[in-house]
Amino acid sequence: MPGWIELQRGDITMIAVDAIVNAANQALAGGGGVDGAIHRAAGPGMADELRSRYHGCPTGSAVLTGSGQLGDHGVRWVVHAVGPIWRGGHDGEEDLLRSAYKTSFLLAEDAGARSVAFPAISAGVYGYPLAGAAAVALRTVRDCLVRAESIERALFVLFSTDTLEAFERALRELTPRG
């Protein structure tokens, strides 16, 4: 039986799930928005692990680390996904965003996660239009859940009301009526 998708407004660093997906940059160096919040909440150990294991990450891909101090909330892993910067939609952005979500999902599943929390990758400072970002995210995660072996719950934790509303609209459009 496929898992399910949930949406909620809140702080992704306060969510009790097995894996949290971080909207990372290519350097994996921490930054603003959700990336900065996750790095601050995880503490320096996660950044040390990133530096020692990886030398960046290409757009559309992801890497996995331990959760550092996020483990105090039950989080076991952080998946650092690099989404595309919006350049008008003609530079492969949709494919790269889809790949970032799919790679993140598969890394979490390979690690043994049963639950995973996602942010709105690329929809903040990277400028991806909210409606499009929500549609790509939800479609991709839904398709992954259908084939998932361990992940039962995919939670989108969205920081602003506007982002939550965009994801709610996209989910209604994705969900069959009847």
Tens digit of each residue's pLDDT (9 = 90 or more) over 107-146: 999 999 999 999 999 999 999 999 999 999 999 999 999 9
* Per annotation, catalytic residue among 11, 18, 35, 162: 35
Pairing of strands 62-66, 77-82: antiparallel
Look at residue 1 in the predicted model and tell me its pLDDT. 53
Structural domains present in the chain: 4-174 (3.40.220.10)
Look at residue 160 in the predicted model and tell me its pLDDT. 95
Tens digit of each residue's pLDDT (9 = 90 or more) over 50-89: 999 999 999 999 999 999 999 998 999 999 999 999 999 9
Active site (annotated) includes residue 35: yes
Per the CB < 8 A criterion, the answer to whether 173 and 135 are in contact is: yes
Q: How far from 176 is each of 134, 146, 152, 172, 173, CA to CA, in Å?
A: 17, 15, 20, 8, 8
HSE-CB of 58 using CA atoms within 13 angstroms? 5
Q: What predicted TM-score, i.e. pTM, was given to this entire model?
A: 0.96
What confidence tier does 178 reach under pLDDT thresholds 50, 70, 90?
low
Residue 2 has pLDDT above 90, yes or no: no
